[in-house]
Structure 1
Amino acid sequence: MIALAHAVPVLADGTTGDVDSIRIAFNQEAMAILRIAIASILFGIALDTRVEDFRRAARRPGTVAIGVAAQFLVLPAITFVLTLALDVRGSVALGMILVACCPPGNVSNIVTHLARGDVALSVSMTAVGNLLAIILMPINFALWGSLHPTGGPMMRAIALDPVDMLIEVGLVIGLPFLVGVALADRFPQVSARASKVIAPAGFLLLGGLITIALANNLSLFLGYIGIVFLAVLLHDALALGLGYGIATVTRLPGRSRRAMTFEVGVRNAGLGLLLVFSYFAGLGGMALVAAWWGIWDIIVALAVAAWWRRRPTRDEPRPDAVLHT
């Protein structure tokens, strides 16, 4: 039995100095738990995904293509610009870029349902987004991270190999996702019941791990939260605003607009946190951004969903009639 309180060692450097020089170390037990948590979340998403979800996405290629472009092209690009505008430290910039490159999680499906949005579109986009992220996430991060004036030198110093990250992402999200989809197609009833347990258990495990990490490094967190709080607040608002804005400009119906907002705005920051510890030795700014984003993003998404739930749209639950080519 692993004692989680000892699985997340405290910071050795204390709370003084440059955020770029901070390292938060996870031992092997903690890293194994983190991988299990992320894989469980993706496996749970896949168990609740059907081949029909991909067929449904194929019937709405224009809408899905807009969402994919917003997530994997526009969001990383405007995140890069935001890091320059805020003039954040290199490690904070890399953390923001990494989170922007992460795929959506099924939290987006949950909040879309709470907001009375187009759940079918949300599920379809989550399925497509996680599948594409296996390839696009490492490429995106390597591109934008290396171009950053302060983050780029840190990446080159670490000598990050995009192929290594591709393998890690493939094993942590690709393999569980593909296996889960295959099982869901073969055993739909059992998979549907299992998904209601496995994904929430993964979120609880991830949440517990992040909570313990923050508790064990509370002085560090309080000492540097001012550096990342504003960056995460603006970044999260930008991501949600991008989803809503692009859905509005392309004249999606109200329910689809809500789904698009969450699909673009809600990111799987837990995966980003895993990569921070796997390839960046717990680099301070990156770890703080990913950990705080994972908490703040859910709080804001639930608040927006609750606000929208009291304001139901007049749209009929029909496929988008504007973008279907």
Structure 2
Amino acid sequence: MIPLALLVGADADVDSIRIAFEEGSLTTLKIVIGAILLGVALETRPSDFLAAAKRPGSIAIGVVAQFLVLPALTFVLTLLLDVRGSVALGMILVACCPPGNVSNILTHRARGDVALSVSMTAVGNVLAIVAMPLNVAFWGSLHPTGKELLEDISLDAVDMLLEIGTVIGIPFVVGIAIATKWPRFAERAGKVVGPVAFLALGAVIVVGVAGNWSIFVNYIGIVLVAVFLHDALALLLGYGIARATGLPERSRKAMTFEVGIRNSGLGLVLVFAFFDGLGGMALVAAWWGIWDIIAGLAVAQWWGMRAGRRTPEPVA
């Protein structure tokens, strides 16, 4: 099989480059990701977890798709594309990231089951604290070229768990506490914190790309096709597994975005915190964050237009 790097005309070794990212910028990125998770939590209520408990089948389908099937299919895709080790690790890392509240927005825009989407986002972020480091360590150690990079880095799943717990867990707990004690304030704050945090994330990515423009231009071709196929795979997996298990159309839409939309900003934090800005990983995470929203908006807009005046289906 012809390596993807040659298909796109990039023969340089992306595994050997490191993306420059100052300590202050990394701290800013962590704060921004924490703010995004705070925004998710401010719009989450204890009733969302109760709602999830009343729909265990749908939630279980989403959990299996996100934390078991998607990483496994991603691993297979990296082998089929024959990507470089760092690109493979970047794809695996993104696949293991939890969803964000962008999935809720897209589900609403597509006229899908927003209640299911919100419940799955809440459950997914809690489970990701433990599942994400285990998944990255497991699938990365199995990859024929990625495992060598992991050995050089000496990745510690426990350290990653603590980092994810700090970035996700603390803001999530704080946000839930505020939402429980001051629900009206949380509702108003959530409408501001989430969007502002995403704009800030976009600004951090733009500044990072500008500071490494020559690397971005020279190597972006290596990840364009991989990210396109990977993102399409994630969205199709969400829809396919929902349809195969008999979920109604509105729930299929929610499942599509919960599985297909990943919080790659968290992935970027981990790339710089644990992988020393490894080139292919950083490029995958950064470009995924951009392309994922473009593709998701396109799908949501298409679904929203098709929905028209259809009679809403009952939820599963």
Fold agreement, TM-score > 0.5 = yes
The counterpart of 1:175, out of the listed 159, 170, 183, is: 170
Root mean square deviation, CA, Å:
1.2
Preserved contact between residue 254 and residue 315 of structure 1 (Cα < 8 Å) = no
Tell me which residue corresponds to 2:58.
63
C-alpha offsets along residues 137-165 of structure 1, whole Å, 9 cap, x if unaligned?
A: 00111100111100001001110100000
The residue correspondences of 1:74-93 to structure 2 (distance < 5 A) are 74-93=69-88
> Is 1:210–2:205 an aligned residue pair?
yes
The counterpart of 1:240, out of the listed 224, 235, 239, is: 235
Tell me which residue corresponds to 2:34.
39
- Per-residue deviation at 1:289? 0.2
C-alpha offsets along residues 96-151 of structure 1, whole Å, 9 cap, x if unaligned?
A: 00000000000000000000000000000000000100110001111001111000
TM-score (norm 1): 0.92
- Per-residue deviation at 1:54? 0.4
Tell me which residue corresponds to 2:292.
297
Preserved contact between residue 36 and residue 202 of structure 1 (Cα < 8 Å) = no
TM-score (norm 2): 0.95
- 1:317 and 1:198 map into 2 onto residues whose CA distance is 32
- Per-residue deviation at 1:16? 8.8
Tell me which residue corresponds to 2:118.
123
Preserved contact between residue 113 and residue 315 of structure 2 (Cα < 8 Å) = no
Change (3 A) 1:16 1:69: closer
- Per-residue deviation at 1:217? 1.9
- 1:119 and 1:70 map into 2 onto residues whose CA distance is 18
Tell me which residue corresponds to 1:319.
315
- 2:153 and 2:166 map into 1 onto residues whose CA distance is 22
Preserved contact between residue 19 and residue 285 of structure 1 (Cα < 8 Å) = yes
- Per-residue deviation at 1:219? 2.1
> Is 1:110–2:110 an aligned residue pair?
no
Preserved contact between residue 139 and residue 162 of structure 1 (Cα < 8 Å) = yes
- Per-residue deviation at 1:260? 0.4
Amino acid aligned to 1:249: A
Tell me which residue corresponds to 2:22.
27
Aligned length: 306
Preserved contact between residue 116 and residue 308 of structure 1 (Cα < 8 Å) = yes
> Is 1:264–2:253 an aligned residue pair?
no
**SS at structure 1 position matched to 2:314:** coil
Q: Which moved more, 1:215-224 or 1:179-188?
A: 215-224
C-alpha offsets along residues 282-321 of structure 1, whole Å, 9 cap, x if unaligned?
A: 000000000000000000000100111111174535331x
5+ residue gaps in structure 2? 1-9
- 2:23 and 2:200 map into 1 onto residues whose CA distance is 16
Amino acid aligned to 1:66: I
Amino acid aligned to 1:225: I
- 1:199 and 1:92 map into 2 onto residues whose CA distance is 29
> Is 1:153–2:139 an aligned residue pair?
no
- 2:312 and 2:11 map into 1 onto residues whose CA distance is 56
Amino acid aligned to 2:93: L
> Is 1:285–2:280 an aligned residue pair?
yes
- 2:181 and 2:90 map into 1 onto residues whose CA distance is 38
**SS at structure 1 position matched to 2:306:** coil
- Per-residue deviation at 1:175? 1.0
- 2:214 and 2:11 map into 1 onto residues whose CA distance is 10
Amino acid aligned to 2:314: R
Change (3 A) 1:29 1:128: same
Amino acid aligned to 1:190: F
The residue correspondences of 1:133-144 to structure 2 (distance < 5 A) are 133-144=128-139
Preserved contact between residue 237 and residue 259 of structure 2 (Cα < 8 Å) = yes
- Per-residue deviation at 1:259? 0.4
> Is 1:49–2:44 an aligned residue pair?
yes
C-alpha offsets along residues 141-194 of structure 1, whole Å, 9 cap, x if unaligned?
A: 110011110000100111010000000000000111111112101110001111
- 1:152 and 1:124 map into 2 onto residues whose CA distance is 35
Amino acid aligned to 2:210: A
> Is 1:198–2:188 an aligned residue pair?
no
- Per-residue deviation at 1:278? 0.3
Preserved contact between residue 118 and residue 256 of structure 1 (Cα < 8 Å) = yes
Amino acid aligned to 2:113: D
Amino acid aligned to 2:112: G
**SS at structure 1 position matched to 2:72:** helix
Amino acid aligned to 2:226: A
> Is 1:184–2:179 an aligned residue pair?
yes
Amino acid aligned to 2:218: G
Preserved contact between residue 118 and residue 317 of structure 1 (Cα < 8 Å) = no
